[in-house]
Structure 1
Amino acid sequence: MWSLICLISLAFTPEVTSYSYGPPLGACARMFPKGHGVNSQTSVSPYEILVNATTYKPNDVIEITVNSTGLHDVTYFEGMMLQARRIACNVNDPTKSHGMFSVMAGDQFLTTMDCESNVKSAVVHMNHSKIESKVFYWKADFSSPVGHLVFRATVVKGKTTFWEKVYSPVIKDEASKAPLTICDSGADLVKIQSVFTMLSALILTMCITL
């Protein structure tokens, strides 16, 4: 019976280790590099997300630039994960990333990731080069608008120094009259996932020591 519990726990424990070549799929919901073993920075982020449009309709393409601003003498980043999230509270699938991303042909630093089975729904790093600025693209590849969006990123300077919840300007759904306030949707889901992760890790530790 205990062996069965161990196997189930192993199957459902999210990946929490650090990855040299980009984040694991387990990082998609919270966008937090748990394998780094430290909390995120609480100071103002030295990174910015620039866009060439602040409204969208289906099939529009938006150019996105992630820059280091030089704040705190930070002039580069070594890793990142970026998604397009709805800004509204109390939405279905609050951690879902909408639309489809693409990177420049031949880009040796960035690639796309299929988060929650949504094709190319995130942009992530695939090595740890020191980068000052990167440009990539997002397409509203859906038939009807999904509401106001924001590009949200976690940007990593190094293993122990990173900033989460770095936001672009709001990308307005031209058909929506909803408020433009960014809500940290998915917070309750993240708490539930964190509790489950800790429980699974505890069970695995007990399994190893048996």
Structure 2
Amino acid sequence: MKTLCVFLLLVLLESSAGYRLGPPLSACSDMYPTGHNNSSQTIASPFTFILNTTTYRPGDVIKVFLNSSGDWFMEGALIQVRAKNCKGLTVPAVGTFFTEENEDFLETFNCFGETASALRHYAHYHIYNRTFYWTAPSVSVGDVHIR
């Protein structure tokens, strides 16, 4: 009986906590941060994406710099690239990501059954900026946006 109680307590604690070590697969579709008891953001984003190019060809590797403004920091992240005409959030991400060798905050994430189709946080630090890379899909999907 004691073992079962400890197990149930651990399950309840896990299910009621935020996702300190990265978002769950269920976040891939709507990209909404669950488990944090926060409402949607109502201010302009204090974070910007800076890319080394604004166009791509199939297979191109784009360097992306995620930057914070002022004193804002990130504690979590889920990043995808989607076709601009994706008709909502149910269309899978496009392309793949990779990080720099010594990255200690972001890791690739397999959304929609596609390897490295997203990036997510896997540590709980206060991060002000990060550099990562997106590889365009082998067939153009037209205009894309990073979210």
1:166-177 to structure 2, matched below 5 A, reads: none
Checking the alignment, whether the CA contact within 8 Å between 1:63 and 1:136 is kept in structure 2 is yes
- In structure 1, stretches of 5+ residues that fail to align are 1-14, 153-210
Deviations 1:79-137 (A, max 9, x none): 1111001111548x843100010001121111000001011000110011111110000
Question: What is residue 81 of structure 2 aligned with on the other side?
Answer: 84
Question: Matches of 2:49 and 2:127 in 1, distance apart?
Answer: 14
| Residue matched to 1:145 | 140
The alignment-based identity, stated in percent, is: 38
The aligned amino acid for 2:67 is N
TM-aligned CA distance change 1:51 to 1:19, over 3 Å? same
Match of 1:27 in 2: 27
Q: Distance in 1 between matches of 2:142 and 2:134?
A: 16
Distance in 1 separating the partners of 2:75 and 2:83:
26
Task: Could you tell me which runs of 5 or more consecutive residues in structure 2 were left unpaired when the two chains were aligned.
Answer: 1-14
Q: Write out the 4+ residue segments of structure 1 that deviate beyond 3 Å after TM superposition.
A: none
Over the residues paired in the alignment, what is the CA RMSD in angstroms?
1.8
Instruction: Point out the structure with max Rg over C-alpha.
Output: 1
Partner of 1:47: 47
Please tell me whether the aligned partners of residues 86 and 94 of structure 1 are also in contact (alpha carbons under 8 angstroms). no
**CA pair 106-88 structure 1, distance change in 2 beyond 3 A:** same
Q: State the TM-score, normalizing by the size of structure 1.
A: 0.59
Q: Give SS of 1:37's match.
A: coil
Relative to total residues, which structure has the larger helix share, 1 or 2?
1
1:1-210 to 2 correspondences below 5 Å: 18-70=18-70, 73-74=71-72, 76-88=73-85, 90=87, 94-142=90-138, 144-152=139-147
Q: How many residues align?
A: 133
3-state SS of paired residue (1:123): strand
CA contact (8 A) 1:20 1:128 kept: yes
Structure 1 residues 24-53: Cα deviation after superposition (integer angstroms, max 9, x where no partner): 111000101121122122011111111111
